[in-house]
Structure 1
Amino acid sequence: MSLLPPEQPKAQHELSLTRLIDAPRSKVYRAWTEPQLLAQWWGPNGMTTPECEMQLWVGGLFRTVMRAPDGSEYPNQGVFLEIVPPARIVFTDAFGPGWVPSNKAFMTAVVTFDDVHGKTQYTARAWHWSAADCQAHEEMGFHRGWGESLDRLVAVVTTQMPD
């Protein structure tokens, strides 16, 4: 059961990215929900994801560590708020496991996978608590970084995953 209406209006402090992917949504959803697949594409070009842990249930852990070419690491941890296979995943860094509030909530991500004649209309939305956080995320390179991640995701689901 989804907590969000099917046509959620744009949030006040939202950044988003949408693309039609030439792969069925079951494959795109799998690439998002299987740690060994997510690790292949998560992060912008040049980054790797040596650590990815998922507890795929509401309140379950979603943790990644991205590594830059210079060895710098960028850990992220949060929890899943909603999981509707194969249609939607919602996660946030506002909480950790056990619903313990994080030190600094930055965003909630809503990722949807809509079937369009066997292809996937993919939409990733990043909701922020403030205009400042939204602007900071945009200045960090949200569109470039999430776009490059999406390019990598498309490569995984169209060339590396069997049907």
Structure 2
Amino acid sequence: MKSQDKELLITRIFHAPIDKVFDAWTDPEKLKRWYAPDGCTIDYKHIEVKEGGRFHYRITHPTHGSGWVIGKYLEIMRPEKLVYTIRLSNENGDLLPPDDLKSAGWPGEILIKVTFESLGNQTKAVIYEAVSEEEARKTGAYSGWIEMFDKLELQLQSIPNHNSASA
């Protein structure tokens, strides 16, 4: 990434309390429902949500096929912050060589930081991804995050909130 490139930063307000939003990011069953762009599915071969824990998943797109990702949780501060890395891999977890990556401007390993701030019954989530925003827009990674956040919002609304009164 060139030093003048703006890195990817997306802020989203979710209409759910912070614990519920954080759980959606750390519960493997909930992740399966939203952590893939529209039209795609995600299957975890392995996931261990703890500091130092690793994950390995496949995202399948109906037109573009499947891609494998491995990663590691570097920091989990419930419910305020998640820090993890992702790398493109094959089914066995072997890293893909640089020429197989999305584009010449795409790093081999990507650092992702997500912070969560309670706003009462809402949560402000800020995602920072150590990639060029321009490259993320070209490759579809940016629009993928927006699609995933829309799916997450729908999932959060379908999970009963014990603090809300029913009409």
TM-score (ref. length: structure 2)? 0.76
> Deviation of residue 93 (structure 1)?
2.6
Question: Counterpart of 2:37 in 1: which secondary structure?
Answer: coil
Change (3 A) 1:31 1:117: same
Do the aligned residues in 2 keep the contact of 1:46 with 1:69 (CA within 8 Å)? yes
Rounded to whole Å, the distance in 2 between the matches of 1:63 and 1:84 is: 21
Do the aligned residues in 2 keep the contact of 1:57 with 1:83 (CA within 8 Å)? yes
What do you get for the CA RMSD once the two structures are aligned? 2.6
Do the aligned residues in 2 keep the contact of 1:22 with 1:119 (CA within 8 Å)? yes
Aligned to 2:112: 109
1:78 aligns with 2:71: yes
Rounded to whole Å, the distance in 1 between the matches of 2:60 and 2:152 is: 17
Do the aligned residues in 2 keep the contact of 1:35 with 1:52 (CA within 8 Å)? no
Do the aligned residues in 2 keep the contact of 1:39 with 1:52 (CA within 8 Å)? no
> Deviation of residue 107 (structure 1)?
1.0
> Deviation of residue 63 (structure 1)?
2.3
Rounded to whole Å, the distance in 1 between the matches of 2:50 and 2:148 is: 24
Do the aligned residues in 1 keep the contact of 2:46 with 2:54 (CA within 8 Å)? yes
What is the number of equivalent residue pairs in this alignment? 144
Change (3 A) 1:140 1:33: same
Question: Counterpart of 1:86 in 2: which secondary structure?
Answer: coil
TM-score (ref. length: structure 1)? 0.77
Q: Aligned to 2:123, which of 120, 123, 137? A: 120
1:14 aligns with 2:7: yes
**% identical aligned pairs:** 28
Aligned to 1:68: 61
> Deviation of residue 52 (structure 1)?
5.7
Change (3 A) 1:52 1:149: farther
Do the aligned residues in 1 keep the contact of 2:137 with 2:143 (CA within 8 Å)? no
The structure number with the bigger radius of gyration is 2
Aligned to 2:105: none
Question: Counterpart of 1:110 in 2: which secondary structure?
Answer: strand
Letter in 1 for 2:62: P
In structure 2, list runs of 5 or more residues that go unmatched. Answer: 90-94, 99-107, 162-167
> Deviation of residue 36 (structure 1)?
0.8
Rounded to whole Å, the distance in 2 between the matches of 1:138 and 1:71 is: 17
Rounded to whole Å, the distance in 2 between the matches of 1:93 and 1:13 is: 19
In structure 1, list runs of 5 or more residues that go unmatched. Answer: 1-11, 97-101
Rounded to whole Å, the distance in 1 between the matches of 2:23 and 2:116 is: 11
* Off by >6 Å, runs of 4+ in structure 1: none
> Deviation of residue 113 (structure 1)?
1.2
Do the aligned residues in 2 keep the contact of 1:13 with 1:127 (CA within 8 Å)? no
Letter in 1 for 2:60: R
